[in-house]
């Protein structure tokens, strides 16, 4: 076994999260922000805290070291989805630059936390580049897939390549479709969640043919999410260990297909913390170190 930040499926060893209470702050803050941030509807503050408590309890299944981003007045309730502000590599953290205007302060807020914790920083995405962590997924320890979306632009991908090339990391660009347009949260990990070195949950109707063929050529078995479970984030699945998965409750077909592939599936109610804001379990976490074979 070895430890790496460059995995989506290894046994989780350390992770950053942000509690719903610290991101949403209170009912008044939610009322002021949810529409401008394009939440589907107004989250209930108390129920969001209840959901998050259960989510964090499930996240602790592998006994990882859990670190918290604290409340910060410079950021919005979108900061709940803490994956997006940074990317973890074995050489240090890459601080992102957000493609969504309402989230521009999150990377600098995250940087302060990392610096305080003594976590090294490999680099930053600078203007006019944009990269959001939801567009980034490790295919293996030396290959990073990056979605070209409305949130992650060509210049951001160029900067990522420049930062990662000295680390021996190859970047695979994945051109994603317009889908619902610039205001929608549509990341690479909206359609692709690795849960083992050769197993991934996918939504093929929105997946580029070239990328899908690349996954198959790499030996991935693809768990197909049905149309009815895409909007309820059936494709957003977090591996807390190989084939040990955490997902939003209510995606029963995807859950059964994962179980048929030998996966253990844990579920949480995510109406307030996931569905309304468009961020599933991968979005709610910034994994650092994982153990892999």
Question: What phi and psi values does residue 231 have, to the nearest 5 degrees?
Answer: -65, -25
Which residues, in sequence order, are CB contacts of 219 under 8 Å at separation 6+?
198
Contact by Cβ (8 Å): 1, 48: no
Please tell me the pTM assigned to this model: 0.96
Q: What is the pLDDT of residue 183?
A: 83
Cα-based distances in Å from 107 to 77, 150, 240, 262: 14, 18, 24, 37
Query: pLDDT at residue 185 above 90?
Result: no
pLDDT one-digit tens code per residue, 260-278: 999 999 999 999 999 999 9
Q: What is the pLDDT of residue 184?
A: 85
Strand order in the sheet with 290-292: 2-4, 290-292, 11-12
Nearest to 97 by CA among 242, 106, 89, 88: 106
Contact by Cβ (8 Å): 2, 290: no
Supply the DSSP string of 141-187, one letter for each residue: TTEEEEEESSSS-HHHHHHHHHHHGGGT-EEEEEE---TT-TTS---
Looking at the structure of the chain, the number of domains it has is 1
Contact by Cβ (8 Å): 135, 144: no
- Let me know how long the chain is: 293
pLDDT one-digit tens code per residue, 37-72: 999 999 999 999 999 999 999 999 999 999 999 999
Query: pLDDT at residue 106 above 90?
Result: yes
CATH classification at residue 272: 3.75.10.10
First to last CA, the chain: 5
Report the DSSP beta bridge partners of residue 87: 94
In this structure, are strands 14-17 and 136-140 parallel, antiparallel, or unpaired?
A: unpaired
Mean pLDDT, rounded, of the chain:
97
Residue 181 lies in domain:
2-292
Rounded Cα distance between 226 and 210, Å, is 21
Contact by Cβ (8 Å): 275, 40: yes
**DSSP 3-state percent helix, strand, coil across the chain (nearest 5):** 35, 25, 40
């Amino acid at each position: 076994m070895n430890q790496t930040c460059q995995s989506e499926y290894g046994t989780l060893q350390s992770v950053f999260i942000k509690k719903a209470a610290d991101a949403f702050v209170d009912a008044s803050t939610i009322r002021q922000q949810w529409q401008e941030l394009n939440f589907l509807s107004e989250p209930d503050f108390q129920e969001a805290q209840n959901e998050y408590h259960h989510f964090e309890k499930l996240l602790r299944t592998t006994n990882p070291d859990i670190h918290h981003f604290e409340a910060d007045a410079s950021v919005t309730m979108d900061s709940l989805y803490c994956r997006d502000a940074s990317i973890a590599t074995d050489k240090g953290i890459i601080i992102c630059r957000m493609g969504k205007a309402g989230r521009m302060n999150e990377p600098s807020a995250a940087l302060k936390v990392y610096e305080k914790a003594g976590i090294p920083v490999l680099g930053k995405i600078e203007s006019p580049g944009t990269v959001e962590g939801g567009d980034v997924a490790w295919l293996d320890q030396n290959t990073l897939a990056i979605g070209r979306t409305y949130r992650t632009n060509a210049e951001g991908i160029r900067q990522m390549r420049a930062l990662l090339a000295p680390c021996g990391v190859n970047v695979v660009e994945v051109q994603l479709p317009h889908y619902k347009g610039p205001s929608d949260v549509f990341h690479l990990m909206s359609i692709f969640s690795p849960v083992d070195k050769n197993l991934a949950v996918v939504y093929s109707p929105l997946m580029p043919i070239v990328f899908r063929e690349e996954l198959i050529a790499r030996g991935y078995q693809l768990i197909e999410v049905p149309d009815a479970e895409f909007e309820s984030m059936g494709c957003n699945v977090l591996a807390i260990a190989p084939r040990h998965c955490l997902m939003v409750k209510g995606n029963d077909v995807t859950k059964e297909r994962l179980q048929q592939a030998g996966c253990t599936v844990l579920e949480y109610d995510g109406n307030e913390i996931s569905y309304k804001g468009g961020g599933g379990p991968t979005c709610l976490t910034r994994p650092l170190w994982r153990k892999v074979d």
